[in-house]
């Protein structure tokens, strides 16, 4: 456990140097899912699939900028990619005239 903390404090994670650019890119990629939660409450049903088709590929491409080094991270990457594919399929197959679920 101590080596993990030391590597984080030294600015390395899985033998990859954590630079300011990487932190900025991670911050930008995190904003996509946060924005989609807000947009799902603001946009009408017609515009939600279009926003999904724009918002899903951006973090998917960001995940491939730094390919994983160990099998544990590969497993998480595969699960995230499958979840994003499911989001795209739901957005593609949900008819535009279908009612929105009730919101509290």
pLDDT digits (tens, 9 = 90+) for 89-101: 888 887 767 666 6
Does residue 98 belong to any structural domain of this protein? no
Give backbone dihedrals phi and psi of 5, rounded to 5 degrees, phi first. Answer: -65, -40
Nearest-10 crossing angle of helices 71-93, 48-55: 160
CA 13, CA 4: separation in Å to the nearest integer? 8
pTM: 0.63
Distances from the Cα of 89 to the Cαs of 16, 30, 53, 93, in angstroms? 34, 22, 10, 6
Q: Which domain holds residue 65?
A: 2-93
Question: Which own/partner pairs from 13-20 qualify as long-range (CB within 8 Å, at least 24 positions apart)?
Answer: 14/68, 14/69, 14/70, 14/73, 15/69, 16/66, 16/69
Is 22 among the domain residues?
Answer: yes
Whether 6 has a pLDDT exceeding 80, the answer reads no
Paired residues of 12 in beta bridges: 17
Q: Is residue 49 part of a domain?
A: yes
């Amino acid at each position: 456990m101590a080596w993990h903390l030391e590597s984080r404090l030294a600015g390395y994670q899985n033998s990859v140097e954590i630079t300011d650019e990487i932190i900025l890119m991670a911050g930008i990629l995190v904003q996509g899912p946060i924005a989609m939660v807000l947009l799902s409450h603001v946009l009408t049903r017609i515009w939600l699939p279009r926003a999904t088709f724009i918002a899903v590929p951006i973090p998917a491409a960001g995940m491939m900028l730094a390919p994983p080094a160990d099998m544990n991270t590969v497993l998480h990457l595969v699960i995230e990619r499958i979840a994003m594919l499911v989001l795209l399929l739901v957005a593609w197959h949900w008819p535009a005239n279908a009612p929105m679920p009730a919101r509290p």
